[in-house]
Amino acid sequence: MDADDIGSAYKHHYRLPNWKDEFPVFSEGNPKTLQRTVTRFYQNLSNLEDQKENRNRVGKLTWRSPTEFQSMPFLQSGFELKNTSGRHATR
């Protein structure tokens, strides 16, 4: 799939409510966090395009398991994180 075929991040932000009906796992996340994840994907695509334009050799975006992420974006207040893993956060 080419970046031109998938639309814009803005378009997909509005599709998230429908995806929550189709994929119940999306209902578990904060809406702003889901939007930020979509935005992160599009920023990564843009960065790859910039690298290609600068004649750097680049690969493709690859799937990363959710357990590989060490951070997540929260842009709102009013939530509390619970440490259920026993691991401690580092800076």
Please indicate, yes or no, if residue 61 is contained in any of the structural domains: no
- 41, 15 contact by CB (below 8 A): no
pLDDT tens, residue by residue, 28-68: 877 877 888 888 888 888 888 888 899 888 877 777 776 77
Please indicate, yes or no, if residue 66 is contained in any of the structural domains: no
d(CA 21, CA 23): 6
Q: How many helices (H) and strands (E) does the chain have?
A: 2, 0
Please indicate, yes or no, if residue 18 is contained in any of the structural domains: yes
* Domain span including residue 36: 3-52
pLDDT tens, residue by residue, 71-88: 666 666 666 777 777 777
Domain count, the chain: 1
Please indicate, yes or no, if residue 72 is contained in any of the structural domains: no
pLDDT tens, residue by residue, 5-22: 667 787 888 888 888 888
Residue 29: Cβ-neighbour burial (10 angstroms; 0-12, 13-18, 19+): middle
Asked if the model's pLDDT at residue 1 lies above 50, the reply is no
